[in-house]
Amino acid sequence: MYYLVYGFLYVVSLLPMWALYLISDFVAWLLFDVFNYRYWVIRMNLNLAFPRKTQKERDEIAYRFARNFTDTFMETIKLFSASDAFIRERMPGDYHVFEDLYKKGLKCQVHMGHNFNWELGNLSFSLNSSYQMLGVYMPLKNKTMDRIFRKLRSRTGTILLPATDMRKSIMPYRDQQYLLGLVADQVPPRPERAFWMDFLGMPTGFIPGPEKGARAGNIPVVFVNITKEKRGYYYLHATLVTEDPARWPEGEMTIQYRDFLQRVIRQHPDMWLWSHRRWKKPWKAEYIAQWIDLLPPPQRGINPYVSNKSV
């Protein structure tokens, strides 16, 4: 099955971009206009994040998101056969930030979000940086697709570390000079241990691992976001946060990341993954000790996917 699926995707990837974008337009229409893919989740997320926008404005964000979503899917297929020159052309960026750290002999930790097109961004790191790229990923339940995506994501030299066994899998590289890439806006698997704060107007849990790892190893942290210059062409923006995170108080790095991610989303709202149920692990009053925001925490539990009211 692996060879059949991989072979099919590789053949599709040989199509020119204009043909792939025609397919993308059709798939977007089919998924979102005909079958209403995750319609309720997308609308609920946008309502929560942008309550002051008009319904027309939120509908426009949803429309552009849908096109970016399927464009990303087709662009990712293209990566099965795309040359290194293609990847470099499509994702230039502020890679000098990483080179400066590398020349100092320092490791580097990258925190980014579900910002299109992160698959292209992953491959571009290895091509534009002297670092050995380590990418943390969540294994897929479908074994065939998991094997395919591991092959794709490692094609430019990235070494993949499963998020389910992160501590053990990074041990062989602990004494090397690496760049660790983290999509840090994931839903925390254990909300009772998460850092909790306001995010886009909702009490939200953030995984503590990225900050704790950076502080424990005193690894410099860079925040990364991607903007879409035009269809198929992106730019990777890198912001050095600190070279000395061990001096930061607990929680501060995650608060800074929250602020960064909010700015990115508000500036380019159609570029974030709104079909993702970001608030599926709801706030509960029993997590009060994990609240790190300056804003006061809610007094009662809130589950936005049940209702908009406290529960």
Residue 257 DSSP label? H
User: What is the rounded distance in angstroms from the CA atom of residue 223 to the CA atom of residue 260?
Assistant: 8
Q: Is 164 helix (H, G, I), strand (E, B) or coil?
A: helix
pLDDT tens for the chain, 311 residues long, are 998 999 999 999 999 999 999 999 999 999 999 999 999 999 999 999 999 999 999 999 999 999 999 999 999 999 999 999 999 999 999 999 999 999 999 999 999 999 999 999 999 988 999 999 999 988 888 999 999 999 999 999 999 999 888 888 999 998 899 999 999 999 999 999 999 999 999 999 999 999 999 999 999 999 999 999 999 999 999 999 999 999 999 999 999 999 999 999 999 999 999 999 999 999 999 999 999 999 898 888 788 887 544 33
Residue 219 DSSP label? -
User: What is the rounded distance in angstroms from the CA atom of residue 132 to the CA atom of residue 159?
Assistant: 8
Cα of 128 vs its chain's centroid, Å: 19
Q: Which two tokens stand for residue 77?
A: 């297929």
Q: What is the pTM for the complete model shown?
A: 0.93
Where are the chain's structural domains?
Answer: 2-290
Q: Which amino acid, 295?
A: L
Furthest CA-CA distance within the chain: 55
State the alpha helices, DSSP H only, in the chain.
2-13, 17-28, 39-49, 55-78, 84-90, 96-103, 118-128, 143-153, 166-169, 209-217, 252-267
Q: Length of the chain, please?
A: 311
